[in-house]
């Protein structure tokens, strides 16, 4: 599995989701590395527009639109990954045991592992972003982070708050950090109930729609149609699927789980626990921000976590792999 490189089959490569976007992300990579620049050009061509202009010049409100943020985050992740391949000799098939991504990051992970082309992944995420945005009228849904409750407690709070509406656990991110999603009134009730049940904090999230709950049913249907026309190859290393928190390599199963993921809970905490149990001792978060590294450290402090999203990060990655050259 490994040819003696510092990055070994005890490493997982993980890919961030929505919320990690920021104006300017990826520009330094594009300016410094031809391999990164080529990825951004490929994503622009796939979408038939200059998404990179919005990414690098803003405004932030336009970048944050779900239909833009999703392919934009994919672009940064794959630009960073292609840079590692070109500059550091990274080989996912040799140097990783698993790939995993948070929500849209699952598409980045699949592209990194060769299951999807960058072009196909960008097109699918544009469709996914629009479908998720359109599934619920603006203002009717909401998401809130419940801090200080475990997953079972958060599920119970959501069930109590739902009444005749929808309120479900959307993201099980880390111990004491669960996000609920659904009808705005139900989510607001959940925030009150959570505080009564001992939550330290309940925070309404600045999102445009209630992701990962059954209100996203129309988006799941749209993705079923979109994915049925896509070619998914067998990934070079297994994907730890969001909705299963366990590895999957069969293309038909991956497709089914990508549809299920639109309405299903992102089981990130359990995914990291699974990887740790399978021998993972380090993770590399590839792309914008460092949200997932923070979550991994909260889930299992023994896992070493590093980020690659800037030229400086690339240099650090190379130095860590080749300490004698430093």
One of 20, 108, 181, 212 is an active-site residue; which one?
212
Work out the number of other CB atoms within 10 angstroms of the CB of residue 307: 23
Token look-up 């336009």 returns 62
What six digits make up the tokens of 170? 């959307």
Q: How far is CA 85 from the centre of its chain?
A: 21
| End-to-end Cα, the chain, rounded Å | 25
Instruction: Check if 228 is active-site.
Output: no
Task: Reply yes or no on whether 5 is catalytic.
Answer: no
Q: How many CB atoms lie within 10 A of CB 1?
A: 11
Strand partners, 201: 147
Residue 30 · residue 37 · CB < 8 Å: yes
Q: Please give the Cα distance from 267 to 35 (Å, whole number).
A: 32
Catalytic one of 20, 103, 208, 271? 103
Catalytic residues: 103, 212
């Amino acid at each position: 599995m490994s040819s003696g490189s510092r990055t070994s089959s005890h490493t997982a490569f993980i890919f961030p989701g929505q919320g990690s976007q920021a104006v300017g992300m990826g520009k330094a990579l594009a300016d410094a590395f031809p391999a990164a620049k080529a990825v951004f050009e490929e994503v622009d061509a796939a979408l038939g527009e200059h998404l990179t202009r919005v990414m690098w010049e803003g405004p932030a409100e336009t970048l944050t639109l779900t239909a833009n943020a999703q392919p934009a985050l994919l672009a940064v992740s794959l630009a960073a990954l292609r840079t590692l391949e070109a500059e550091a000799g990274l080989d996912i098939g040799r140097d990783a045991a698993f790939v995993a991504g948070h929500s849209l990051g699952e598409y980045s992970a699949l592209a990194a592992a060769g299951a999807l082309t960058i072009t196909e992944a960008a097109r699918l995420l544009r469709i996914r972003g629009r479908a998720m945005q359109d599934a619920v009228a603006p203002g009717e849904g909401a998401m809130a982070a419940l801090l200080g409750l475990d997953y079972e407690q958060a599920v119970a709070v959501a069930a109590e708050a739902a009444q005749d509406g929808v309120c479900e656990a959307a993201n099980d991110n880390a111990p004491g950090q669960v996000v609920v999603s659904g009808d705005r009134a139900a989510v607001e009730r959940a925030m009150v109930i959570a505080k009564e049940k001992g939550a330290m904090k309940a925070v309404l999230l600045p999102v445009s729609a209630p992701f990962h709950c059954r209100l996203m049913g129309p988006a799941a249907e749209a993705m079923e149609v979109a994915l049925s026309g896509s070619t998914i190859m067998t990934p070079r290393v297994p994907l730890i699927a969001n909705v299963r928190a366990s590895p999957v390599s069969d293309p038909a199963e991956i497709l089914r789980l990508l549809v299920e993921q639109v309405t299903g809970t992102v089981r990130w905490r359990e995914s990291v626990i699974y990887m740790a149990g399978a021998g993972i001792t380090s993770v590399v978060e590839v792309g914008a921000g460092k949200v997932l590294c923070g979550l991994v450290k909260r889930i299992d402090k023994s896992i070493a976590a590093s980020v690659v999203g800037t030229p400086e990060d690339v240099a650090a990655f190379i130095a860590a792999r080749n300490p004698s050259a430093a």
